Amino acid sequence: MRLLSAGITTLVAAFLIVPVLLSALAGVTANWFLGVSGGLTTRWLWRVWDLYAHTIGLSVWIAACCLACTLLLGVPAAYALARAEGRWPRLAEEVLTLPLAVPGLATALGLILLWGPVGGFRTHWSFVLVGHVLFTLPFMLRATLAAMKGADLVTLEEAARACGASFRQRFLGIVLPNARRGILAGSLMVLALSLGEFNTTLLLSTPFTMTLPVGLADSYASMRLEIGSAFTLLFLVLLVPPMVALQAVADRVAR
Amino acid sequence: MSIHAALLGCARTFPDGTVGLHPTTLDFPPGSVTALLGPSGCGKTTTLRLLAGLAAPDRGGRVTFDGRDVTALPVERRGIGMVFQGYALFPNRDVAGNIGYGLEVRGVARAERERRVAEMLRLTRLEGLGARRIDQLSGGQRQRVALARALAPSPGLLLLDEPFGALDARLREALRTELAALLAELSVTAVFVTHDQAEAMALGSRIVVMEAGRVAQEGTPEQVYARPASRFVGGFLGTLNHLGGDRFCRPEALRPDPQGPIDAVVRAVFFEGGRRRVLLRAPGAGADIAIELAGPAPLPGTGMRLAVEEAAVLRLPG
Amino acid sequence: MAAGWEGQGAAGYVAALTEPRYLAALRDTVLLSAGVAFVSVALAAVVGSFLARRRFPGRRVLVALLTLPLAFPGVVVGFMVILLAGRQGVIGGLTEALVGERVVFAYSLAGLCLGYLYFSLPRCIATVMAAAEGLDPALEEAARTLGAGPWRVARDVILPGLAPALVASGAIVFATCMGALGTAFTLAADIRVLPMVIYTEFTVATNFSVAAALSVLLGLVTWAALALARMFGGGSVAAQA
Ligand SMILES: Nc1ncnc2c1ncn2[C@@H]1O[C@H](COP(=O)(O)OP(=O)(O)OP(=O)(O)O)[C@@H](O)[C@H]1O
Ligand SMILES: [Mg+2]
């Protein structure tokens, strides 16, 4: 049975890892048809840079803004939820699963129908940002809330109170440091999710507010395979650091 | 059908290099009840797991059942019963489902299984609880389910790891008496781990005292208590008074005697129900001396002369 | 204006619930998502418990690599399927060399399944691993002392222990697949999944009310699946997202 499990694990690992390597490789081969023997080149990467640099810039910018928003909204909200008693927190946690149930497409439709006609909002990048914040906020909330609950914050705060700490001192000196792992994990998740968001963004974006994943879809549809691959490679380079950091944080929490 | 189990030169080194057990040879005669006693981390659980087959001995060590080498035999084929430290009851099965599991695995027919489970429920005084969920049981009931589960397939060797570890003192004592009666009735070879010397002496027909991965001494409770092989063993099994030099004695060997050779001063008195424990300071003794008194309590600070029963003095070189 | 919207909205719902092509898309999407959820959970049960229970060199790196695709957007996954099984894909090249015929299935149902499986597996594996690490090893040992072999242990101890995690991750995968647009978008597959239908209704046909009605329908189905999973002991559905 051990052999069978090992075999299945190997197959699944290959299935998940090989395509990543393939797309990375395809982005630097001169001609995919000829394979590596056709020579390696950075030509496609430069082409992608010329064509899509603005989408990369916008995606990074939106991800950063999205992180700022979710931190400002999510951390205080998680704190309130962690301290609240009664049925409200239960209800709120119920609501937290909603973004999973509501397809990104539906969120986008709702936003467009609601805000589309308002001034220049529809064509501004902040329109996309709103979609991203709606999508990622629950992840930040959930990660932070879990950390706060795990640290038994209520007791810690009572202890700090007994020592005479003011609210400000408690929040900055006790609450935030003890929830920092959760906040960090939530932040990395928000960054990664925002960078890769497609379902909502496809509808929210306009040709002038095209984000990286939308640009990727565009390149897959209209450019040659090597350019799509090179773009994917750039995207992976952007995405891997937060994901690796996330894994490291998770590892340290586990230990 | 109790088993004659033996460990022959079994050692156990963990992957990280920790030595859990130095090479050890131990014999467990059929029907014997052996207590593995020792402080935390001395290798009791390791010894038990070697017997069970949950861990393999380092190279060269052998485990035999009735003379047959079972070192390479996996746990599930050894036909043992084991009670785990935290009981390890299956949360997805009710009480009867837990007790009947070993029989189910062996393919025992349903009717026979139900009969046997009912018998075990009666034996462990759990009648009427067969359909209970595990999380609806008290600590003592859980302990009995774990015991019933281990005994249901009629194992030849019963292993118990701190069977009363998680229970309060009164319950421990009650269950100890129950288990002693049960083991006597079943005449199964039993090995149990404990760090409570009173439990070891009450339940074990034999005690193996362990220290830092080695057997420090083995023998009947009387032998080990009265003739400890070392200061460590003596101290672990009960209070050991240091009379100076290599001379030691148990509290029972000392009595107040106006003509006695030891001149001591009472330091403290502890009321222990039927009698009192008195701590005294004596010149020449390494530490306080403890004695037991039935009569009226002396006041701290008063002097008291003591006599010692020479035959009971233990000579234990450091 | 408001009244007009309402009238349109009602018509949209009527269309969404009666027109065969919408219903067919709904049915196909549900079947596809359920199938992918089942297969991912089954595979993840094996892989997750293997990775959680065995120690071998390079394990941490492997785990990190396996969880990396967690954040890949659907479009990228679709592209990877094309690289694997598309017209210029590796599988095509391999089969051409071996059998003399190019096997291309990226743009079919199989390709879509492969893509959905690709982004579902990491999430399931991570969830199962966390659950398997939380299992009490003494339970497994207890079963073995009672005579249970490896298969019995897997069936009687490990599987019941993992059940809540399996239900939870299955429900989440189902929900994610139901709403996934990117993969189908990139593959431009023959099979019409509901999100693609909604997208085309909205952009190409500018049929806002039908698009909205279908979105609500989609949301209801996924929400029901999540609620159902939570009812059946997957209490961690929220936590595991
Ligand atoms: N898996 C392991 N890896 C490394 N060292 C271990 C492992 N298990 C036990 N040890 C070490 O082996 C020694 C013996 O452990 P063992 O569990 O047999 O002690 P014990 O006598 O049962 O103690 P306790 O009364 O606390 O249960 C200890 O020093 C322990 O730290
Ligand atoms: Mg132990």
Q: Is residue B16 pLDDT above 60, yes or no?
A: yes
> What does the pLDDT read at residue C2?
38
> What does the pLDDT read at residue C145?
94
Selected residue with higher pLDDT from B62 and B292: B62
Domains delineated in chain A: 1-41 (no CATH), 53-254 (1.10.3720.10)
> What does the pLDDT read at residue C238?
44
CB of B142 closer than 6 angstroms to any ligand 1 atom: no
Residue range A176-199: mean pLDDT, rounded: 86
> What does the pLDDT read at residue A180?
87
Cα first-last separation, chain C = 40
Amino acid occupying residue B262:
I
Among B22, B44, B194, name the best residue to mutate to test ligand 1's pocket (greatest count of ligand atoms within 8 A of Cβ).
B44
Residues from chain C contacting residue B82 (CB–CB below 8 Å): 141-142, 145
Residue range B140-145: mean pLDDT, rounded: 92
As a whole number of angstroms, the distance between CA B128 and CA B108 comes to 22
> What does the pLDDT read at residue C197?
87
Residue to mutate among A97, A98, A194, A212, with most C CBs inside 10 A, is A97
In which band, very low, low, confident or very high, does the pLDDT at B53 lie, cut at 50, 70 and 90?
very high
Match 């297969």 to its residue by tokens: C39
Distant-in-sequence, close-in-space partners of A65: CB < 8 Å, separation ≥ 6: A129
Residue range A169-177: mean pLDDT, rounded: 85
Lowest mean pLDDT among A67-71, B59-63, B253-257, C103-107: C103-107
| Number of residues in chain C | 241
Residue range A101-107: mean pLDDT, rounded: 76
Lowest mean pLDDT among A38-42, A64-68, C169-173, C184-188: A38-42
Q: Which sequence spans correspond to the domains of chain C?
A: 10-240
Residue range A98-121: mean pLDDT, rounded: 75
In which band, very low, low, confident or very high, does the pLDDT at A45 lie, cut at 50, 70 and 90?
confident
Residue range B132-136: mean pLDDT, rounded: 91
Residue range B118-131: mean pLDDT, rounded: 92
> What does the pLDDT read at residue A100?
66
> What does the pLDDT read at residue C8?
58
> What does the pLDDT read at residue A135?
86
> What does the pLDDT read at residue A25?
83
ipTM: 0.85
Residue to mutate among A8, A11, A59, A100, with most C CBs inside 10 A, is A100
Cβ distance C181 to A32 less than 8 Å, yes or no, reads no
Residues from chain C contacting residue B102 (CB–CB below 8 Å): 146-147
What spacing in Å lies between the alpha carbon of C177 and ligand 2's midpoint? Answer: 48
Q: Is A20 on the interface with C (CB under 8 A)?
A: yes
Cβ distance B102 to C146 less than 8 Å, yes or no, reads yes
Residue range A91-108: mean pLDDT, rounded: 73
pLDDT digits (tens, 9 = 90+) for C66-79: 888 887 888 889 88
In which band, very low, low, confident or very high, does the pLDDT at A205 lie, cut at 50, 70 and 90?
confident
As a whole number of angstroms, the distance between CA A163 and CA B126 comes to 50
CB atoms within 10 A of CB B313: 16
Q: Is residue B213 pLDDT above 60, yes or no?
A: yes
Cβ distance B76 to C146 less than 8 Å, yes or no, reads yes
pLDDT digits (tens, 9 = 90+) for C96-149: 888 888 888 888 888 899 999 998 999 899 889 888 988 899 999 999 999 999
Lowest mean pLDDT among A84-88, B26-30, C164-168, C183-187: A84-88
In which band, very low, low, confident or very high, does the pLDDT at A97 lie, cut at 50, 70 and 90?
low
Rg of chain C (C-alpha set):
21
Selected residue with higher pLDDT from C58 and C35: C35
Cβ distance B76 to C141 less than 8 Å, yes or no, reads no
CB of B250 closer than 6 angstroms to any ligand 1 atom: no
Residue range C75-99: mean pLDDT, rounded: 85
Chains B and C touch, using 3 or more CB pairs below 8 Å: yes
Residues from chain C contacting residue B54 (CB–CB below 8 Å): 141, 144-145
As a whole number of angstroms, the distance between CA A62 and CA A202 comes to 14
Strand boundaries in chain B, DSSP class E: 5-13, 19-28, 33-37, 62-65, 68-69, 80-83, 157-161, 189-194, 206-211, 214-219, 241-244, 247-249, 254-256, 262-271, 276-281, 289-293, 303-308, 314-315
What spacing in Å lies between the alpha carbon of A194 and ligand 2's midpoint? Answer: 49
The mean pLDDT value of chain A amounts to 82
As a whole number of angstroms, the distance between CA C175 and CA C46 comes to 22
> What does the pLDDT read at residue C57?
86
Residue range A145-167: mean pLDDT, rounded: 80
> What does the pLDDT read at residue A253?
66
> What does the pLDDT read at residue B299?
85
Which of A5, A102, A254 lies closest to C50 in CB terms? A5
Q: Is residue C234 pLDDT above 80, yes or no?
A: no
Residue B91 phi, psi (nearest 5): -70, -20
Q: Is residue B32 pLDDT above 60, yes or no?
A: yes
Angle at B130 between CA B126 and CA B135, to 5 degrees: 90
pLDDT digits (tens, 9 = 90+) for B156-198: 999 999 988 777 788 888 888 888 888 888 889 999 999 888 8
Max CA separation in chain C (angstroms): 74
Angle at A98 between CA A96 and CA A101, to 5 degrees: 145
Q: Is C219 on the interface with A (CB under 8 A)?
A: yes
Number of helices followed by number of strands (H, E) in chain C: 13, 0
Which of C62, C83, C175 lies closest to A19 in CB terms? C83
Cβ distance C150 to A1 less than 8 Å, yes or no, reads yes
Q: Is C56 on the interface with B (CB under 8 A)?
A: no
Residues from chain A contacting residue C96 (CB–CB below 8 Å): none
Number of helices followed by number of strands (H, E) in chain B: 9, 18
Lowest mean pLDDT among A56-65, A243-252, B290-299, C22-31: A243-252
What spacing in Å lies between the alpha carbon of A85 and ligand 2's midpoint? Answer: 40
Instruction: Write out the DSSP string of B130-154.
Output: TT--GGGS-HHHHHHHHHHHHHTT-
Residue range C183-188: mean pLDDT, rounded: 83
Lowest mean pLDDT among A143-152, B73-82, B111-120: A143-152
Q: Is A127 on the interface with C (CB under 8 A)?
A: no
Bridge partners of B304, per DSSP, are B264
As a whole number of angstroms, the distance between CA B66 and CA C156 comes to 31
Amino acid occupying residue B41:
G
> What does the pLDDT read at residue C24?
87
pLDDT digits (tens, 9 = 90+) for B67-100: 999 999 999 899 999 999 889 999 889 999 999 9
Q: Is A101 on the interface with C (CB under 8 A)?
A: yes
Q: Is residue C5 pLDDT above 90, yes or no?
A: no
CA distance to A40, A48, B16, B32, C122, per residue, from A233 (Å): 14, 10, 41, 70, 20
- Give the number of the atom of ligand 1 that is nearest the alpha carbon of residue B49: 18
Q: Which CATH superfamily is domain C10-240 in?
A: MetI-like (1.10.3720.10)
For residue A143, give the H/E element and its range.
helix A125-150
As a whole number of angstroms, the distance between CA C118 and CA C80 comes to 9
Which of C139, C144, C145 lies closest to B90 in CB terms? C139
Closest CA to A251 of C68, C53, C64: C64
